[in-house]
């Protein structure tokens, strides 16, 4: 089956036939300020929209200025949407964005580490060191840098919700994606370690491990790799970004109060452990 965005012209099950994610009952996030990295498009934008729908104000962090400008305009919520151009793999860039965002909001309650890249589709020994390193820098080191910048203020405020977007690849290891799999495994371990370090501070840290979510990141990988990933999902479809956003929103809420250091699968039945 060829991948098509948003299940266009596809007769497979589409949850939008049964649920309207945008108009579902929202969580109460009024008074909460959040950061969503990679927030200009895809899963990040869906998460930001869900947080906004629930009453939060949101800072979109992305390295693409034009995409940020377009997204902020399309959201149409000038008083509740903040943007910052950030390279999450660069310590100075993250540090500066954190300072600007904290100054703008006064406090940050929520951090969603979503930004990531797929990298090349190659066997481990075919990857150049630069290709391998780039994926680790963005997908793992970037999560460290954002947490490093924001956790101290959350501890000082006695409240925080951090959600890291990992992947089922970090649990199972996808062939021809050793860099991505290793980075996401690192994100899972980072989540568990940080959660224990801040467990008594009011800061809660969790991650989600999606199988494949339908976004433009699929354009970065081969059809063969897409077919491989789809073949592993018993439901026979990819996840939707709105489904990921719904789970993340709950993890960002005060209702998530006794769950920390956890990895929540979003895999259409691929992961049953």
Contacts of 140 (CB under 8 A, 6+ apart): 182, 183, 184, 186, 187, 190
At residue 1, the pLDDT reads 37
The predicted-structure confidence for 113-152, as pLDDT tens digits, reads as follows 999 999 999 999 999 999 999 999 999 999 999 999 999 9
Ranking 35-44, 103-112, 208-217, 247-256 by mean pLDDT, the lowest is 208-217
CB 5 within 8 A of CB 237: no
State yes or no: pLDDT of 16 exceeds 80: no
The predicted-structure confidence for 20-47, as pLDDT tens digits, reads as follows 544 455 789 999 999 999 999 999 999 9
DSSP-based three-state secondary structure for 208: strand
* ∠ Cα 217 59 79 (to 5°): 130
Q: How many angstroms separate the first and last alpha carbons of the chain?
A: 27
State yes or no: pLDDT of 163 exceeds 60: yes
* 211: region left, alpha or beta (phi > 0 left; psi from -120 to 50 alpha): alpha
Closest CA to 60 of 45, 74, 43, 42: 45
At residue 3, the pLDDT reads 43
Structure confidence at residue 8 as a pLDDT band (50, 70, 90): very low
> Catalytic annotation on 180?
yes
Full DSSP string of 123-147:
-GGGS-HHHHHHHHIIIIIHHHHHH
State yes or no: pLDDT of 101 exceeds 60: yes
Query: Tokens 């994610």 map to which residue?
Result: 21
The residue ranking higher by pLDDT, 10 or 190, is 190
pTM of the predicted protein model:
0.89
Structure confidence at residue 214 as a pLDDT band (50, 70, 90): confident
- The residue annotated as part of the active site, out of 159, 180, 228, 273, is 180
The predicted-structure confidence for 222-256, as pLDDT tens digits, reads as follows 888 788 888 989 999 999 999 999 999 999 999 99
Kindly list the structural domains of the chain, giving each domain's residue range(s) and its CATH number in brackets, ordered by start.
Answer: 28-266 (3.40.50.720)
β-pairing, 33-37 vs 110-113, is parallel
State yes or no: pLDDT of 200 exceeds 90: yes
* ∠ Cα 162 52 200 (to 5°): 25
At residue 14, the pLDDT reads 52
């Amino acid at each position: 089956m060829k991948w098509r965005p948003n299940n266009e012209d596809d007769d497979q099950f589409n949850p939008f036939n049964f649920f309207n994610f945008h108009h579902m009952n929202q969580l109460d996030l009024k008074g909460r300020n959040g950061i969503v990295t990679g927030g200009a498009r895809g899963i990040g934008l869906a998460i930001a929209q869900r947080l906004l729908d629930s009453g939060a104000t949101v800072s979109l962090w992305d390295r693409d200025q034009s995409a940020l400008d377009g997204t902020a305009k399309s959201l149409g919520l000038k008083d509740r949407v903040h943007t910052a151009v950030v390279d999450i793999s660069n310590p100075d860039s993250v540090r500066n964005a954190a300072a600007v965002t904290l100054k703008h909001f006064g406090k940050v309650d929520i951090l969603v580490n979503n930004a990531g890249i797929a990298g090349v589709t190659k066997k481990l020994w075919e990857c150049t060191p630069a290709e391998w390193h780039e994926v680790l820098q963005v997908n793992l080191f970037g999560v460290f840098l954002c947490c490093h910048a924001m956790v101290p203020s959350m501890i000082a405020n006695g409240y925080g919700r951090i959600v890291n977007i990992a992947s089922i690849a970090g649990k199972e290891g996808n062939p021809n994606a050793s860099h991505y799999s290793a980075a996401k495994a690192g994100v899972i371990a980072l989540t568990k370690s940080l959660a224990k370090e801040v467990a008594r501070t009011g800061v809660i840290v969790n991650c989600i491990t999606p199988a494949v979510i339908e976004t433009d990141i699929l354009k970065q990988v081969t059809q063969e790799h897409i077919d491989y990933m789809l073949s592993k999902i018993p439901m026979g479809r990819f996840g939707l970004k709105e489904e990921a956003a719904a789970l993340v929103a709950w993890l960002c809420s005060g209702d998530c109060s006794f769950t920390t250091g956890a990895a929540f699968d979003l895999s259409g039945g691929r992961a049953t452990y």
